[in-house]
Amino acid sequence: MPIATPEVYNEMLDRAKAGKFAYPAINVTSSQTLHAALRGFAEAESDGIIQISTGGAEFLGGQHSKDMVTGAVALAEFAHIVAKKYDITVALHTDHCPKDKLDGYVRPLLAVSEERVARGENPLFQSHMWDGSAETLADNLAIAQELLARAAAAKIILEVEITPTGGEEDGVSHEINDSLYTTVDDAIRTAEALGLGEKGRYLLAASFGNVHGVYKPGNVVLRPELLKELNEGVAAKFGKAASPGPFDFVFHGGSGSTEQEIATALENGVVKMNIDTDTQYAFTRPVADHMFKNYDGVLKVDGEVGSKKTYDPRTWGKLAEASMAARVLEACANLRSTGTKIK
């Protein structure tokens, strides 16, 4: 069962929350980065989450048509086949989708899974993300209600981002300022609109100073202890247990975070952490090294013939896969998911 069923995905999240660990959610843009992520999870004996952003899906759709749905469906179908060779379980997820791309990405993908479920099959993706952080909270939650109802009917978990994450990802950008901190009132309004599981399960990307990309020390002030305040505030309001807390939190902008920041986030309910920038660099770094060291082989300098062994994409591609897999292995260790795979 390499691709999680809806039941197993729920079990994965429950186990992470109870065990105070989180799954690395690795963005992929090709079959090769998919294999790198799967390899890293397998070597760590960790289950995990594979995700495709709108930009990643557009790239996967090919530069001729740049069709996001085609790209996402194609890689998801590919993953269902190749993941069988890895002794771990992964969930497939779509990352950041803003309002202007819902009709070209998440809604059509929901329709694909709705058709599969109607035939008695499992959904193609196990979760989808709605990024309404650029909208007012009222508009954000209104759209989230519609998407949650459809997702729940298709046995899919919805991820919502209710307040901004700083930096830029796939065209959605926010300044780095005091708005990057979710308030207890924001969390209560979310629970009022989306419920606490009775309307369908959702993951909550709350903001505690998160920023996409990597910044030098001192530029970003993370407050992962804020997540505890959000859980406690909502628990008190709705008469729920404060521990482990009503929300399943997602850590966005996780690349470059310190081990202490990650540990605090895990203690306060984070079950999923997005990792993209660090794995992008890990994938590209050995390729750059190979090109610089084999300059006269990868290029036909001064009319020479070059060296097929050095410019063959398989040569440098293997180095890229190994390096990215090693970074995924490191992420599993940081998030305490190493050795926790479902047997």
Q: Which residues are catalytic?
A: 95
Amino acid found at 208: F
Find out whether 98 and 130 touch, Cβ atoms under 8 Å: no
Tell me phi and psi for residue 239, to 5 degrees: 70, 35
Tell me phi and psi for residue 93, to 5 degrees: -140, 150
How many Å from the N-terminal Cα to the C-terminal Cα in the chain? Answer: 10
What is the β-pairing status of strands 23-27 and 270-275?
Answer: parallel
**Residues 124, 310: Cα–Cα separation, whole Å:** 38
The contacts of residue 218 (CB under 8 Å, 6+ apart) are none
The contacts of residue 316 (CB under 8 Å, 6+ apart) are 286, 287, 290, 291, 310
Report CA dihedral (114, 116, 120, 121) to the nearest 10 degrees: -120
Amino acid found at 105: Y
Find out whether 28 and 34 touch, Cβ atoms under 8 Å: yes
